[in-house]
Structure formats: structure tokens, C-alpha cells
A and B are shown apart, each in its own frame.
Chain A
Amino acid sequence: DGGITQSPKYLFRKEGQNVTLSCEQNLNHDAMYWYRQDPGQGLRLIYYSQIVNDFQKGDIAEGYSVSREKKESFPLTVTSAQKNPTAFYLCASKVSMRIMNTEAFFGQGTRLTVV
């Protein structure tokens, strides 16, 4: 079945460590996104990528980094510079940002906890 896979589902990090969240899609989508979700704040865009080898900062990119070396993969690294990384992280993809009348497909999320 086609879809988006995020791993791991739960992740624990010690303060000062970098961690990488995986996001893989087999939908052949060009656009991919990372969102952060905190209680009562909805979804906030961290980074997005319109195409391979290209990515742009979203609204809350500080303390995060991404890469897009392959079409199907868009990993997110939460660096030690992110002051409050405990949150639920969602990855999404879309056929193309240039095609407006299509929806985004979401992964099942990764819950990151700093211990």
C-alpha cells in the first residue's frame, strides 16, 4: 500500500543531543512537509520541500534541519539548539505544491520527549 511512514513512533532524547526523525513516502509525491504539534496550538510548519535537493524554512525552523537527497525521503534533525523539542512531529506529502487542488497525506507521527 502507498503511504507515508514515520519512524520511530516514540523517541527519547537527552538534553544536548541531536536526533533524527525519519519520513519515507512511496506515493511518488514531489512535496514533503514537517509539522510540529503542541497541545492547543494546531500544526506549525517547520520545513518543506518542493522537490529533491530543495527545501525551505517554515514558520518555526530554528533548531531544526532537514535534507532531501531522495524523492521518497525527508528526514528531520532536531538539534541541541532547539530549546523545547518535546512535541509530536508529523510528516506529510503532496503530489506537488504547484497543483493546488490536492490534499496532503500524513504519516502517523513521532512523539519526541526530552529526558
Chain B
Amino acid sequence: AQSVTQPDIHITVSEGASLELRCNYSYGATPYLFWYVQSPGQGLQLLLKYFSGDTLVQGIKGFEAEFKRSQSSFNLRKPSVHWSDAAEYFCAVVQEYGQNFVFGPGTRLSVLP
């Protein structure tokens, strides 16, 4: 079965520190990959997406993600976290034609002042 894992349920970082959120998927071919962010009580907002080409993609709010085929990973990074980045982050995948999104369980990010 298709699956997306986000190994870290909850991460706490200090404001100004760097951040990396992990995402792994279990597919044979290269899927289409997405990162979304959700603030409490809100809908999901797209941060970035990867379809093909350069494996390092830039997104909104200073986020970037790197696709590594050999590791089946699509980790999200930010060099310096701001207090407003505190939210839940979801990795999502679309693998096959006509298939739905498969979402990971999410990683909750807390930011210390």
C-alpha cells in the first residue's frame, strides 16, 4: 500500500535556529510531492511542490525541500525559524494517474522564543 511517513510527531526549535522536517514515501517510481502547512483551526496552505527537474525546490515563507530518490525522501528545511512558523506540517504524495493525495500524519512544530 502507498504510504507517507513523517517520523517526527512533534519538534521544538528555538527561534532563529534551523529546521528540517522529514518525509519518506514508499513507492517505486518518482511521485509528485507536496508540503503543506496548517495553522491551528485553519485549512492547509501549500508551501512547495516537486514534480521533476531540480531536486531542490524553493517555496513560500523561506522554506525549501530536497528530493532524494535514493532515500525516497522529501525533507523540508528552513535556515532560520520564526515564531510564526509554529504550525503543523504535512507531506503529501500523488503517485499514479487518477490517484488521490496520500498525506503523512503530520509534524507539529513548536518555536521557543
Binding site for B on A (CB under 8 A): 4, 6, 33, 40-43, 45, 48, 50, 58, 88, 90, 92, 97-98, 100-101, 103-109, 111
A8 → chain B closest CB, angstroms = 13
A-B contact pairs, 25 of them (CB 8 A): A4-B43, A33-B101, A40-B9, A40-B105, A42-B90, A42-B103, A43-B90, A45-B101, A48-B100, A50-B98, A88-B41, A92-B44, A97-B98, A98-B97, A100-B51, A100-B97, A101-B32, A101-B49, A101-B51, A103-B49, A104-B92, A104-B101, A106-B36, A108-B42, A108-B43
Question: Besides the contacts A101-B32, A104-B92, what 7 more A-B pairs have beta carbons closer than 8 Å?
Answer: A6-B43, A45-B100, A92-B44, A100-B94, A103-B49, A108-B42, A109-B41
Given contacts A40-B105, A100-B32, A103-B34, contact A58 B43 (CB under 8 A): no
Contact with A along B89-113 (1 / 0, CB 8 A): 0101010011111011110000000
Q: Which one, A98, A105, A106, contacts B98 given CB within 8 A?
A: A98
The answer, yes or no, to whether B17 is at the interface (CB within 8 Å) is no
The answer, yes or no, to whether B80 is at the interface (CB within 8 Å) is no
Q: How far is the CA of A43 from the CA of B105 in the complex (A)?
A: 7
The answer, yes or no, to whether B55 is at the interface (CB within 8 Å) is no
Q: How far is the CA of A43 from the CA of B93 in the complex (A)?
A: 13
Chain B neighbourhood of A48, CB < 8 A: 100
Interface footprint category on B: 20 to 34
B99 → chain A closest CB, angstroms = 8
Q: How far is the CA of A111 from the CA of B42 in the complex (A)?
A: 10
Chain A neighbourhood of B44, CB < 8 A: 90, 92, 104, 106
